[in-house]
Amino acid sequence: MGSVDGHEQALLSNHNHEHHDQQYELENILSNTTLPVQTRLRKALWIESKYLFFLAAPAVVVYLINYVMSMSTQIFSGHLGNLELAAASLGNTGIQIFAYGLMLGMGSAVETLCGQAFGAKKFEMLGIYLQRSTVLLSLTGVVLTVIYVFSGPILVFLGQAPNIASAAALFVYGLIPQIFAYAVNFPIQKFLQAQSLVAPSAYISAATLVLHLFLSWLVVYKVGLGLLGASLVLSISWWIIVIGQFVYILKSEKCKNTWQGFSWEAFTGLPEFFKLSAASAVMLCLETWYFQILVLLAGLLPHPELALDSLSICTTVSGWVFMISVGFNAAASVRVSNELGARNPRSASFSVVVVTAMSFIISVIAAVVVLALRDVISYVFTEGEEVAAAVSDLCPLLALSLVLNGIQPVLSGVAVGCGWQSFVAYVNVACYYGVGIPLGAVLGFYFKFGAKGIWLGMLGGTTMQTIILIWVTFRTDWNKEVEEAGKRLKEWENMKEPLLLN
């Protein structure tokens, strides 16, 4: 890497040490029994709120922009014709969401390890984890490419019309480069998040969105590349985000200690890293697939069009509000992993309470807004009065879902921060697939509650999962979690030992 003089080295580590001084400040305030309880809480709440704002707000922006980029590609495709709209929707929700969920889930292994390593000041390990995850996700990308290549026959096998399936396959071919952009993007994103560097990703994503809209218009309408052009532009936009973030890592003084160049150590300990990544992926994918299965169930109801329209409007509204919870999920995971790595049990525990309370309050406000607008909310999407009545009928359940979604993703973020992915994966299987889907099917079909029955089943599964996560999180021995984090970091650091003998 070349030598760095003492003065420059001090500058390089300034960001990291400043961050840690603040972390210990929070732990010191919470441990200071000479201060009155109210004063302690007020000071600690102010420090924690600042942390969360600077972490959660840019994270929400990043996830929203990702969402808007895919949506805009769908809209550009839709203006080519109805077949193109159906093909882009099927390619996006049927195939691309599957890859997105899998890659994002696997990338969250980096969140646990990088967060705890940064808290423990083992800065050089962050770059190793970033590279290890990229190698693993790229290998997964090769497998996903095979699925993308055969997406046409797969969609026909799943019962889609051959003309829509072949148009969707054309759209999906253009998304193949996007798979490998995911493979690099998610580890980079988590690497930066672990260091509380979330704003750069937000700025890069916002600039890319503007470029994406211009390129989509140019390629789809002016050059006339149609569906394939629309999806290729989406892939290119994702690569622009990846390159932008990587250039930031190379150039920023704040990453000089955590990124120390490419290393062969990235190829060590891959089987163990795969286990943690697979547990993370299962945890997230089970949730994503759950909603896809519910939409498929709605399509089997006696009046499928009405059921699908009303359910898709409600899930779209839920999806937008969910982006806020995802931002808090990222913030919770960073805060908890950093504090555990820094051996600050009180700060970790306090952070969990504050982030959960904040997300809950915001989701309650969103739920009240939805209830107030229940009779008119559907007109944003469609003119039909019958759909408006069906959506209005579902809104109380939607409001309840929003409240639960204010708690559940945040606690999942805490689980990632602690490294409990395997446990949460088991909870998700039991609650979603053991309770939610069977209950939804029974209420929807046997008791003839239709879309409302399916939604009630989903709520049953989510409620059960939320209660379990609350129970486990608030009974956690944080001193024990600090020790576990220390052990985990030692184990992962030791995986590079054999290579040092060469």
Distance between CA atoms of residues 346 and 293, nearest Å: 40
Question: What band does 471 get if pLDDT is binned at 50, 70 and 90?
Answer: very high
Q: What is the pLDDT of residues 207-264, one digit of tens each?
A: 999 999 999 999 998 998 989 999 999 999 999 999 999 999 999 999 999 999 998 8
Of 35-39, 193-197, 203-207, 291-295, the one with minimum mean pLDDT is: 291-295
252 or 496, greater pLDDT: 252
pLDDT at 361: 94
In the chain, the percentage of residues whose pLDDT exceeds 90 is 46
Question: What is the dihedral angle through the alpha carbons of 281, 293, 462, 88, rounded to the nearest 10 degrees?
Answer: 70
Per DSSP, the chain holds a count of helices (H) and strands (E) of: 20, 0
Distance CA 57, CA 272 (A): 33
pLDDT score of 333 more than 60: yes
Q: Are 243 and 5 in contact (CB under 8 A)?
A: no
What stretch of H or E contains 248?
helix 226-251
User: What is the average pLDDT across 376-391?
Assistant: 83
Residue-wise pLDDT for 179-196, tens only, equals: 999 999 999 999 999 999
Residue 420: phi and psi, rounded to 5, are -95, 25
Task: Express each pLDDT in 208-223 by its tens digit.
Answer: 999 999 999 999 989 9
Residues 6 or more apart whose Cβ sits within 8 Å of residue 79:
none
Q: Quick one: pLDDT at residue 495?
A: 64
Per-residue pLDDT averaged across 289-302, rounded? 73
Cα 44 to Cα 196, 203, 329, 346, distances in angstroms: 18, 29, 20, 11
| Dihedral sign from CA coordinates of 274, 278, 281, 283 | negative
Closest CA to 59 of 289, 324, 295, 317: 324
Crossing angle of helices 199-217 and 226-251, rounded to 10°: 150
Question: What's the 3-state SS for 320-371?
Answer: HHHHHHHHHHHHHHHHHHHHHHCCCHHHHHHHHHHHHHHHHHHHHHHHHHHH
